[in-house]
Chains A and B, each alone.
Chain A
Amino acid sequence: MVFLLAMSIWLVTAISVWLLIDAKGQMPVAISDLARSIDSQFMFTLVITGVVFVLAQGLLGWFILKYRDRPGARARFVEGNTTVEIGGAVVIGIIFVGLAVAAQNVWARLHLNEGPADQVVVEITGEQFAWNIRYPGPDGQFGRTLPELYDATNNPMGIVPDDPAGQDDIVVLNTLAVPVNRPVELRLGSKDVLHGFFMPVLRIKQDTVPGMRIPLRFVAEETGNYEIACAELCGLGHYRMRGFLQVMEEPEFRSWLVEQAAQ
């Protein structure tokens, strides 16, 4: 039985390593500098925890075999070893807390910087089960909105009709188009319950919270059509709250906006 257990532990360890390496290859493409930084922090963590994982499981299996009950032998009477205990804790502590410290660089780049003045600003408002995506239009100003004016077909964002800033606002459903290589700031909110705005290719997600506008910034560096998913349970249609992230060349983006404004 001890053989079987030791083998199982080692087998599980080997399969785990293989599985995670395989899954690494299946991750969506990363289309921003920040996404690649998150990936490399992830890889860094994977390698370090991988070493600890293989070491700990390997030792466990080895001890199970080596110290199995055998005739004549008596267990060593050892009550502990301060050097091993403190040394182990300090080394592990430095590695783990060091990882967390390293992660703060990426975190700060995402959350603690203001965007540049010429960034593209888009307002995203979740509702059961769709994403309302609003562009400020040529004036660069969002019009005021009122919940009592929500109208699914004519005025999904409840823009106040007599606010001049709102006249040129563009509202689209489920498609977030952005120009490539330009800083974008999303302002996330919700009409009803929590949702989670998740862009796998950018490796970021942010809950949308009713009553709040939460900024989320990124620079997409590869054109293409990607998916947006809802990451926070929002009701029975949670799984089908799908959106699209279209990264376009600047001129294409401009004409797309004009096209949407016309509709």
Chain B
Amino acid sequence: MSTVHEHAAHVHVPPDNFMARWVFSKDHKVIGIQYWCLALAAVLVGMVLSLIIRAQLAFPTHNFELLSKIFPNGVAGGAIAPEFYLSMVTMHGTIMVFFVLTTAPMGGFGNYMLPIQIGARDMAFPTLNMLSFWVTFAGFLVIMAAFFVEGGAPLGGWTAYPPLSALGVIASPGQGTGMNLWIVSIAIFCVGSLLGALNFIATTLGLRTKGMSLMRMPLTVWAWFTTAVLALLSFPVLLGAGILLLLDRNAGTSFFIPGGLVVAGEQIDHRGGSPILWQHLFWFFGHPEVYIAILPGMGATSHILATFARKPVFGYRAMVFAIFAIGLLGFFVWGHHMFVSGMSPYTGLAFSLVTLAIGVPSAIKTINWLGTLWGGRIRPTTAMLWSLGFVSLFVSGGLGGIFLGQNAVDLYLHDTYFVVGHFHLIMGVAAIFGMFAATYYWFPKMFGRLLNEKMGKLHFILTFIGVNLIFIPMHGLGMIGHPRRYYDGSLYQFLGGTDGLHTLITWAAFFTVTAQLVFLINLVWGWSKGERAPDNPWDSTSLEWATTSPPPFENFEGDEPEVHHGPYEYSLPGSARDYVMQTDAPSRAPAQGG
């Protein structure tokens, strides 16, 4: 249905100067790697912050000497101050959600692989693509600056609920300049993501090569496309909300600030605003954001499970619809973050029912992943292990949502560690497992060299055990009633029994972070010394494996590839090899898609 050949006419030449080729590049592959590197840098920062958080929770009396040298105010005399602790929590969440979980799956792998997987030479708007990366990068610099301004980083959490976020430094340290920078950073990030989303949508709809019908697209492409639609519809809302919050703080408006506030003995000269309005706007973005983080991981998992089980994806069509259903329902459930916010109880009732309905497409995904494995011949490559781990974490994390989605149960569990454990499992580590799977799977294509499989497997098993030891016990803390974002729970008798769990979680966190060294070593080793990768090291079917590793400037030598097959024709009876590439000559009876 889309035989777009016109764009082959305006062939762009590879730029010959270094800056244009590698820095301000318009090549989607370079931009993809830039995004991926940004995410890697951000995830290292985010992990260090999480260790500081965990250290405080398990060893509150420890003297953190090194930390006090870097942050003489926040960690005066080696003791972590409550406001410093909360700013670590805020920055960990912000950096991870925006600059890791949004950039790596979408900006990184999506940018690199989407055009190649649909047989395009580049994104639809290469200049826009370059801009979207550099805008995002600027956003990262701004958020990092927040650590070092007077008062330090903001402490209101990544959700930035007003009035705490709207009143300035009077409400708490870090809510002054740091909070302004936070809003500016997120606003910039929204713009970058919007540009990227437009590009993804235009590219998917307009630049598919001959024969690449919608139902022949790999599930990865479906996932990125849906993610882009979610981003296009949700980021503008956050951008708008951010601008209103900035105006409340700096221009005397009162969108989110009601009248009659007295903070620290001082009367606040605002009236007429609603703190709950922010929550509606924030979560209208925030819930789709969860799917922006995890849908690409779902796509990669489906793709990789099929490849290494040597089987077609079980129920391809149902998987496409499930991705869409999750995306669509994702826009109607934001209120489940607000069951105890003070909104109408009738609204809570409606949101609860719709939320649990998301269990249906999620169950379809899980059943079909298991179905893909059923009767397969599983090749335990590193990429496959991460994908299997993804399925396991998706189940664990998803089931936590069945508790929290029930308004009545949320009355108790809301804002406890149960929530922290749940969302880390699903949108944190499951999404990251998807990205690790993608990294081990596509690294040979992106860099022309193979990563070390032994190191990869070691990295996997340590991380899999580690993350489970961190986040499953958090559900237990939540059941005991432990509120989240507590600098110190020892004041409370009902939390008396939680020390052991906190210590366990902290050790597991240190263990897991240490295990990531194996990955970093593997990256450096693979990049410099890894075995040369053939074009198709995994016997895969999709278009990226029909070109060289790494692909040439315009992705394919000669003419654009022509597609004759569905994306997952593995172990087709009667075929000589156990896979049929999408570009292989047409068979008499196409088995799938068309």
Query: Which residues of A approach B to under 8 Å, CB–CB?
Result: 1-2, 4-5, 8-9, 12, 15-16, 19-20, 22-24, 26-28, 37-38, 41-42, 45-46, 48-49, 52-53, 56-57, 59-60, 63-64, 67-70, 73-82, 84-85, 88-89, 92-93, 96-97, 99-101, 103-108, 110-112, 127-128, 147-148, 150, 152, 191-194, 196, 198, 200-201, 203-207, 209-212, 214, 226-227, 229-240, 242
Contacts and interface: CB of A to CB of B under 8 A. Distances in A.
A96 B494 contact: no
A241 B461 CA distance: 41
A236 B367 contact: no
A202 to B, nearest CB: 9
A46 B403 CA distance: 8
B570 interface: yes
B224 to A, nearest CB: 22
B156 interface: yes
A16 B396 contact: yes
Contact of B572 (A68, A77, A89, A229): A77
Nearest to A52: B399
B236 interface: no
Given A56-B366, A198-B415, 13 more contacts: A20-B479, A23-B480, A59-B370, A60-B395, A75-B310, A78-B371, A84-B371, A85-B318, A128-B171, A128-B264, A147-B262, A239-B488, A240-B488
B164 A8 contact: no
A93 B461 contact: no
Contacts of A59: 370
B298 interface: no
A15 B516 CA distance: 24
Given A104-B408, A147-B261, A239-B489, A75 B311 contact: yes
A140 to B, nearest CB: 24
11 contacts: A48-B402, A63-B378, A75-B571, A78-B375, A89-B363, A93-B359, A97-B357, A192-B163, A192-B262, A231-B414, A236-B82
Given A78-B312, A85-B368, A235-B172, A23 B475 contact: yes
B161 interface: yes
Nearest to B403: A45
Contact of A192 (B263, B341, B373, B380): B263
Ordered nearest first, which 4 A-B pairs have the shortest CB separation?
A211-B258, A76-B375, A23-B476, A111-B345
B303 interface: no
Interface stretch (B109-117, B346-354, B544-552): B346-354
Contacts, number: 362
B491 interface: yes
B35 interface: no
A78 B311 contact: yes
A79 B591 contact: yes
Contacts of B258: 210-212
A20 B571 contact: no
Contacts of A201: 494
B415 A191 contact: no
B210 interface: no
Chain B interface category by residue count: 35 or more
Interface of B: 81-83, 86, 155-157, 161-164, 167, 171-173, 258-265, 267, 273-276, 309-312, 314-318, 340-342, 345-346, 348-349, 352-353, 355-357, 359-361, 363-364, 366-368, 370-371, 373-380, 385, 388-389, 391-392, 395-396, 399, 402-403, 405-409, 411-412, 414-416, 457, 461, 464-465, 468, 472-473, 475-477, 479-481, 483, 485-489, 491-494, 497, 570-573, 578, 591-592
Contacts of B352: 100, 103-104, 107
Given A210-B275, A227-B493, A239-B489, A99 B402 contact: yes
A59 to B, nearest CB: 6
Contacts of B374: 63, 67, 76, 78
B489 A75 contact: no
A200 to B, nearest CB: 4
Contact of A84 (B265, B349, B367, B592): B367
A67 to B, nearest CB: 5
Contacts of B412: 38, 42, 200, 203-205
A233 B314 contact: no
B363 A88 contact: yes
The residue among A45, A46, A192 with the most chain B CB atoms within 10 A of its own CB is A192
Contacts of A232: 161, 415
Given A23-B480, A53-B396, A75-B578, A235 B164 contact: yes
A211 B357 contact: no
B479 A26 contact: yes
B350 to A, nearest CB: 10
Contacts of B264: 128, 192
A107 B402 contact: no
B286 to A, nearest CB: 15
Contacts of B371: 78, 80-81, 84-85
A37 to B, nearest CB: 8
Given A103-B407, A231-B483, A236-B83, A9 B392 contact: yes
Contact of B260 (A210, A230, A236, A238): A210
Contacts of B465: 8, 12
